[in-house]
């Protein structure tokens, strides 16, 4: 069974467990399923397979997948810049209408490092003032870095340099 058909089989198996709508989001990095609760329009992400991402989660908020240049920037940043394999990190897309909390994120993905692309920290339910491009210790186990969107980082060399300096600080 090829990868896509196997993903469909996973989705079909999950539909037997949940009465809610299931959305299958396929990416090169990981496959993440969102179980939607139509009553209050909130979602809770669940993983359909074991993760190898070492608690490193990159998050962006969009109804659209990354375009080719953004995918390339992300891939280069992880593999060439951070010297990690793509399966060692999780790239998580949160649709605009969906909600995810910091506590659920930490619990589900065992996060130790979170990098937000173009997403305010308030979207995770955090009330701390966290400036962009400043690595912040959110709790005793987790660091967070808020950045501009990948599109904006790709377009602006000064922002790209600032982002890269912050990433180096986070991963030292």
Strands, sheet with 143-147, edge to edge from the N-terminal-most edge strand: 90-94, 56-61, 113-117, 143-147, 136-137
The 10s digit of each residue's pLDDT in 63-84 is 988 888 889 989 999 999 899 9
The 10s digit of each residue's pLDDT in 4-49 is 444 444 555 555 555 555 554 444 444 344 444 444 444 444 433 4
Q: What is the mean pLDDT of residues 41-66?
A: 67
Q: Tell me, what's the pLDDT at 18?
A: 53
Which residues does 17 contact at the CB level (< 8 Å), separation at least 6?
Answer: none
List, in sequence order, the alpha helices (H) in the chain: 3-17, 68-76, 102-109, 150-155, 157-170
Percent of the chain with pLDDT over 70: 69
Angstrom distance (rounded) from CA 103 to CA 19: 25
Q: What is the mean pLDDT of residues 106-111?
A: 85
Angstrom distance (rounded) from CA 170 to CA 116: 13
- Find the farthest-apart pair of alpha carbons in the chain and give their distance in angstroms, rounded: 49
Of residues 4 and 52, more confidence is placed in 52
Six-digit token pair at 39?
């009553």
* Pairing relationship of beta strands 136-137 and 143-147 according to DSSP bridges: antiparallel
The 10s digit of each residue's pLDDT in 140-172 is 889 999 999 999 998 999 999 999 999 999 998
* Pairing relationship of beta strands 90-94 and 136-137 according to DSSP bridges: unpaired
Q: Tell me, what's the pLDDT at 25?
A: 46
pTM of the model: 0.70
100: pLDDT confidence band, cut at 50, 70 and 90?
Answer: confident
3-state secondary structure (DSSP) of residue 129: coil
3-state secondary structure (DSSP) of residue 59: strand
CATH number of 49-170: 3.40.470.10
Q: Which residue has the tokens 């339910």?
A: 125
């Amino acid at each position: 069974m090829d990868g896509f058909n196997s993903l469909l089989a996973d989705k079909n198996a999950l539909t037997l467990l949940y009465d809610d709508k299931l959305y299958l989001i396929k990416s090169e990095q990981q496959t993440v399923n969102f179980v939607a609760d139509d009553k209050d329009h909130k979602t809770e992400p669940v993983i359909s397979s074991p993760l190898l991402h070492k608690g490193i989660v990159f998050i962006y908020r969009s109804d659209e997948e990354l375009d080719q240049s953004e995918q390339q920037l992300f891939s280069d940043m992880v593999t060439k810049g951070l010297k990690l394999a793509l399966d060692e990190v999780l790239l998580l897309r949160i649709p605009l209408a969906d909600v995810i909390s910091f506590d659920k994120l930490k619990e589900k993905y065992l996060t130790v490092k979170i990098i937000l692309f173009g997403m305010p920290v308030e979207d995770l339910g955090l009330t701390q003032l966290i400036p962009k491009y400043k690595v912040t210790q959110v709790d005793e186990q987790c660091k967070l870095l808020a950045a501009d969107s990948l599109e904006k980082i790709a377009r602006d060399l000064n922002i790209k340099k600032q982002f890269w300096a912050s990433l180096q600080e986070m991963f030292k």
